[in-house]
Amino acid sequence: MVICRVSDNGFDLVIPRIGFDAFSILPLTCVSINSDRNRMKKFFSILSVLLIGLPLSAQDSINFPTLGEIRQHHPSLAKLIDVNTPIQVITSGFEWCEGPAWNKEGQFLVFSEIPSNTVMKWVEGEGVSKWFSPSGYTGISDYGPEPGSNGLMFDPEGRLISCEHGDRRISIMIKDGGKKTLADNYNGYRFNSPNDITRHSNGNLYFTDPPYGLRDRFEDPRREMDYCGVYLLRPSGEVELLTKSVERPNGIGLSPDGKTLYVAQSHPEQPTITSFSVDSDGTLGKGKPFFDATRHQGPGIFGNPDGLKVDAEGNVWASGPGGIFILNSKGNLLGRILTGEKTSNCAFGGADGSMLYITADTYVLRVQTKVKGIGF
């Protein structure tokens, strides 16, 4: 296992030599970097190239490093999570992690490593390995810095559904091999770069489509739409544009009863989450402000609203400036999981669905909660 001990002065990266023949070129077992944040990120980026695809075995699954803290904003947080619960680093050394999803049948975590066009797999006691690549772009030319998959989820049959940046589609991986395109356009116009997705109990899929996977994003000449939409993909394959009212839609999730849809906006000037009522036909009512993270922004605080998940009791666990925001169903802030990193997404998993897995820049984290995710 790669262990990072983080301090104010930098970090120590400890690479055990046992089972890591590929690292025999390193003259030291411990690499210490005491430098600024940009140099630390650059080092992690180089390391990720070495790590992707290696069988990282013999993982210490008991003594995980920890980082950050949990901060209470309302006494009711105690029903959801203990503030003294450690935030564990289960794996690290990547360039930009996203889209964590838990496979209940196989009891493993997957997540997108977007820049390397790879989906990674983490198993308790075994560690992390490359699950498959390419994950989001199958072309032969250089697509841009974020070609891979972004949001991931497993359907009730255990099939992986992916939001793919480079191929600009929603896909499903069939269990006997290969991917099938579920949707790649609206009225003949290609999507920007599908970002995140959630599933209703009736089989409807809701997803967001900002341009973050395109090299020049909003100014990219490959865009075929002049807006960023929130879409409904019905089991029949029909695609419906639900709203263009969220300028930069990103994370998305449904309430336990399926009657409310939450959409996060990754906009530094409007770092908000909007709630929409879901009508009986699957379409949306008018959006209402649910949460505004503006006052939590500041120097040295990284990130905007990004991915989110809803627990079985209706609380929203949403990424935002500095970490994960824990909100009740009325949008009141109960607490925060402060990672100190640009935090992209989260997902419930583990044996009973009460473990929260978090992707935060180069890290994948986990923290034990007192609630379960929807579907456990």
| Amino acid identity at 191 | F
**Contact, 154 vs 145, CB < 8 A?**
no
Give pLDDT, residue 177.
76
Q: Are 333 and 342 in contact (CB under 8 A)?
A: no
Region of residue 142 (left: phi > 0; alpha: psi -120 to 50; beta: else):
beta
Exposure on the CB side of residue 158, measured as CA atoms within 13 A: 10
Helices (H), the chain: 37-51
**Are the C-beta atoms of 162 and 149 separated by less than 8 Å?**
yes
Report CA-CA distances (Å) from 125 to 17, 278, 355, 360. 18, 41, 16, 21
Could you give the count of Cα atoms lying within 13 Å of 117 in the half-sphere of its Cβ? 15
Predicted pLDDT at 194: 98
Give the count of domains, the chain.
1
Residues contacting 236, CB < 8 A, separation 6+: none
If phi over 0 gives left and psi between -120 and 50 gives alpha, with beta otherwise, what is residue 27?
alpha
Largest CA distance in the chain: 63
SS3 354: coil
Answer left, alpha or beta for residue 268, where phi above 0 means left and psi between -120 and 50 means alpha.
alpha
pLDDT tens-place string over residues 195-244? 999 999 999 999 999 999 999 999 999 999 999 999 999 999 999 999 99
Res 63: pLDDT? 80
Which positions of the chain have pLDDT values less than 70?
Answer: 1-62
Q: What is the pLDDT of residue 322?
A: 96
Query: Is 28 within a domain?
Result: no
Q: Is residue 375 part of a domain?
A: no
27: in domain: no
CA-nearest of 177, 256, 180, 166 to 212 is 166
Q: Say what the pLDDT of residue 59 is.
A: 55
Nearest CA-CA partner of 230 in 216, 211, 249, 217: 249
Is 114 part of any domain? yes
Question: Which pLDDT value is given to residue 61?
Answer: 59
Question: 286: how many CB neighbours lie within 10 A of its CB?
Answer: 9
Strand segments (E) across 141-202: 149-154, 160-164, 169-173, 179-183, 185-186, 189-190, 197-199
Residue 19 lies in a domain: no
- What pLDDT sits at residue 91? 96
The gap between the terminal CA atoms of the chain, to the nearest Å, is 29
* Whether 351 contacts 107, CB under 8 Å: yes
In a domain, 25, yes or no: no
Q: What domain range includes position 177?
A: 67-368
CB 233 within 8 A of CB 183: yes
With b meaning 16 or more CB within 10 Å and e meaning fewer, what string describes 223-234? bebeebbbbbbe
Q: What's residue 110's pLDDT?
A: 98
Evaluate whether residue 31 is within a structural domain: no
**Which pLDDT score, from 0 to 100, does residue 175 have?**
82
Task: Quote the distance between the C-alpha of residue 74 and its chain's center.
Answer: 26
C-alpha closest to that of 230 among 245, 213, 211 = 245
Q: The domain that contains 335 carries what CATH number? A: 2.120.10.30
User: In which region does residue 33 sit, left (phi positive, over 0), alpha (psi from -120 to 50) or beta (all else)?
Assistant: beta
Structure tokens that stand for 200 in this block? 């209703």
User: Is 37 part of a structural domain of the chain?
Assistant: no
CB 209 within 8 A of CB 165: no
Scan for tokens 């301090």, then name that residue. 7
